[in-house]
């Protein structure tokens, strides 16, 4: 009989690619993870992982078992949801990981909404960048992620996660007030090819949006200044350090002295935001109201 907890470990190793990283995510020691993998191989009668200096990869047998693992763990989430519904599940804590703007735009309003509609649900919020929150859900560190689509992100049909679309917003061009395009009604990105750029660090989903938009305009942005804090990005632009693309919602309430904000000419680069939970958990009586409240906040 295959133990479900060992399937959790197999998926963590597949996701993180090393025993050490999987162990850290699961709050286990690397030796404990290795022991559980060995036990799982004994249970199945197959070699499931191959180790090398670069990390761990699944064997063909491991890939087969991983496909079943995703289905089994999703079904276990559904079982937990139904049992919680059977016992009413009217009170409990749900942990939500979201990036700063997402917290302000949808998470905080959802918390306020739930205080009136589902007072038994307590929300705990953790600040996490759009690419960091999804692994936190998969590793069971949080229940809900508010994340941003990015290159390499799990697809909407990923068997491990259930997605709920929340909102999409354009990026606007931010240029110093003395910039040659400051008076233009819209800014063609190709006209900024020779400018110094300010933007998020690689790994931040917004970095991908900026770079991809510039590539589509025919150039690679010369990123001279990096910050994941859009207030810092705008402050540097106001100092004349360069130009930037910033999500429209991040500009709300910000001091824009010294800069001009203009829409991008043509198809604007867009940040698409969604909520994600472990597949099967979307019907849980604690999680479902949270997802509904996030959706309502996004529509408002």
Both structure tokens of 132: 């960091």
CB atoms within 10 A of CB 216: 13
**Structure confidence at residue 89 (pLDDT):** 62
The HSE-up count of residue 36 (CA atoms within 13 Å, CB side) is 22
Both structure tokens of 115: 């205080």
Residue 85 has pLDDT above 70, yes or no: no
**Structure confidence at residue 267 (pLDDT):** 85
Phi, psi of 246 (to 5 degrees): -130, 135
List pLDDT tens digits, range 138-160. Answer: 999 999 999 998 777 788 889 99
**Structure confidence at residue 86 (pLDDT):** 63
What percentage of the chain has pLDDT greater than the value 90? Answer: 60
The contacts of residue 260 (CB under 8 Å, 6+ apart) are 174, 175, 176, 177, 179, 182
Residue 3 has pLDDT above 90, yes or no: no
Instruction: For residue 47, give the 3-state DSSP assignment.
Output: coil
Q: In the chain, count of helices (H) and strands (E)?
A: 10, 11
Alpha carbon distance 86, 80 (integer Å): 10
Among positive and negative, which fits the CA dihedral 149, 78, 287, 282? positive
Alpha carbon distance 17, 7 (integer Å): 15
Which position has the higher pLDDT, 143 or 204?
143
**Structure confidence at residue 88 (pLDDT):** 65
Alpha carbon distance 31, 36 (integer Å): 9
The contacts of residue 251 (CB under 8 Å, 6+ apart) are 172, 174, 230, 234, 261
What value does the mean pLDDT take over residues 16-28? 89
List pLDDT tens digits, range 25-56. Answer: 888 998 899 899 888 988 888 999 888 878 88
When mean pLDDT is compared across 69-78, 84-93, 248-257, the lowest value belongs to 84-93
List pLDDT tens digits, range 228-255. Answer: 999 999 999 999 999 999 999 899 889 9
């Amino acid at each position: 009989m295959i133990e479900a907890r060992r399937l959790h470990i197999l998926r963590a190793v597949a996701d993180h690619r090393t025993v050490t990283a999987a162990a850290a995510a699961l709050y286990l020691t690397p030796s404990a993870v290795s022991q559980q993998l060995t036990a799982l191989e004994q249970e199945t009668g197959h070699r499931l992982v191959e180790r090398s200096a670069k990390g761990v990869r699944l064997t063909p047998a491991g890939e087969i078992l991983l496909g079943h693992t995703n289905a089994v763990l999703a079904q276990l989430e559904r079982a937990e949801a139904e049992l919680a519904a059977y016992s009413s599940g009217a009170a409990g804590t749900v942990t939500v990981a979201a990036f700063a703007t997402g917290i302000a735009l949808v998470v905080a309003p959802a918390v306020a909404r739930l205080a009136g509609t589902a007072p038994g649900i307590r929300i705990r919020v953790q600040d996490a960048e759009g690419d960091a929150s999804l692994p936190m859900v998969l590793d069971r560190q949080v229940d809900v992620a508010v994340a941003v689509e990015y290159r390499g992100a799990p697809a909407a049909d990923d068997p491990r996660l259930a997605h709920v679309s929340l909102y999409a917003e354009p990026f606007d061009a931010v240029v110093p007030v003395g910039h040659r395009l400051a008076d233009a009604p819209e800014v063609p990105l190709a006209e900024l090819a020779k400018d110094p750029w300010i933007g998020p660090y690689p790994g931040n989903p917004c970095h991908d949006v900026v770079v991809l938009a510039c590539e589509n305009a025919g150039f690679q942005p010369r990123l001279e200044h990096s910050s994941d804090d859009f207030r810092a990005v705008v402050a540097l632009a106001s100092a004349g350090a360069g130009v930037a693309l910033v999500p429209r919602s991040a500009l709300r309430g910000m001091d824009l002295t010294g800069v001009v904000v203009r829409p991008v000419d043509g198809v604007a680069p867009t940040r698409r935001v969604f909520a994600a939970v472990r597949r099967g958990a979307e019907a849980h009586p604690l999680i479902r109201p949270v997802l509904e409240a996030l959706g309502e906040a996004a529509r408002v």
